Amino acid sequence: MKKLLFLFVAFAFLVSAPITLLAQGFSPFALPGGFLGFGDRSGSSSCCGDPGLRCCPAFYVGYNIRQDRDRSPNRFGAINRNFDQPLGRNELELAASDPSGVWLGVSQYCQLSECMGIMASGWYLFPTTGDSQEFYDPISQGTTAPVGDPRKWSADRSEGWIDGALVLGSPCGLNLIGGFRWDSLSLSLKNPVSVNGITAPRGTTADEANLTANWYIPFLGTQYCCGGPCCGLLVRVIGFPWIPGTVTYGETGFFAPGTRVNASANFDHAAFIEVWSEASRNFGGFGCLGVFARYNYIDGRGTASPTLVGTGTALPSYDLIVRRSSWTVGGKIALNFDMPF
């Protein structure tokens, strides 16, 4: 529900500027040229060097391409920083699939001057259900035999983000981009079963687990436009080598039935990259229709001292590691708000 809320907030923000200008009496079809070629039925673009404010809200529907666990699209790990511990919990790894699903996105680009523009977007992946396999390496002290059994979970995943950026340069050609994004991932695990078919597996079938990660991403990048950033050909690459964020994880039945492990960490190492491309054409003078493709990768690593509820035992320090990647393809519709001052 929180992600749906921030999507609606983003939508309200993205469309507020053109709606406000319309209310003040500006006509969206006032000029024959049209913004970024929208109003030009010949398909040519009049965007470069055109004075005044130009805005174009866009709406996206995307298909999240399915990735199996073996391709490591979503992975969480807890690695013991000191292997000589009584509990011997050396490593935990959670490998989640990336099932196909539907992305909904809204964006807004406004050209403020010949050499500057702003853009903002909000994206939400509607909850999808896949599976997640959990591997343990809990070696008992003084032995080499693993304790417990790996579990396979039913995994419900949702994610989304809001971002805003400043675009420097003409809307046509090569631009520089700098901005900020809040990105959130949620994974809910339930209905565990034994991977190896052990009669008395670790925990019980009523156990559950939750993973939540948030990234606060300053990013830099570049984009190339042919025909303008709203209607035409657009290729964009953004990223950053270090970003702050947080991760929390909780699991019942991790050590024994009736117990729960809780861990949280702030990222001290994290990275982000996104590659975006789209192609669109003028359609009927009111806007443009197009297609897009996106690759997104983000990770994070931080140190935590988990608590083991129900045993009174303190666990050693762990490195918590989160990695997520996704491939998305879909369609776009952008509206024409050609509103010079």
Specify the higher pLDDT residue, 304 or 329: 329
Closest CA to 170 of 232, 219, 121, 238: 232
C-alpha–C-alpha distance, residues 187 and 213, integer Å: 9
Q: Which residue has the higher pLDDT, 60 or 113?
A: 60
- Give the CA diameter of the chain: 81
> Which of 289, 279, 278, 277 lies closest to 335 in space, CA to CA?
289
DSSP 42: T
> Which residue has better confidence, 229 or 79?
79
Sign of the CA dihedral with 228 first, then 56, 120, and 186 last: negative
Question: Helix count (H) and strand count (E) of the chain?
Answer: 1, 16
Question: pLDDT by residue (tens digit) across 129-168?
Answer: 888 888 776 554 444 444 456 888 999 988 999 999 999 9
Q: Which of 87, 82, 91 is nearest to 137 (CA)?
A: 91
1-43 pLDDT, tens digit each: 454 444 444 444 444 444 334 333 433 333 333 333 333 333 3
DSSP H or E stretch at residue 4: helix 2-23
Question: Tokens in use for 291?
Answer: 């297609």
119 neighbors 178 (Cβ within 8 angstroms): no
**Which residue ranges form the domains of the chain, and what is each CATH number?**
2-335 (2.40.128.90)
pLDDT greater than 70 at residue 45: no
Q: Residue 195, Cα to own-chain centre: how many angstroms?
A: 30
> pLDDT class for 229, splitting at 50, 70, 90?
low
pLDDT of residue 194: 81
Q: Which residue has the higher pLDDT, 206 or 203?
A: 206
- pTM for the whole thing? 0.80
Mean pLDDT on 97-108: 92
The CA distance from 257 to 195, in Å, is 17
The token duo for 250 is 């909780």
- Under the banding of pLDDT at 50, 70 and 90, the label for residue 73 is confident
Kindly report the CA angle at 333 between 51 and 182, in degrees rounded to 5? 85
Cα-based distances in Å from 150 to 61, 91, 132, 135, 226: 37, 12, 11, 5, 52
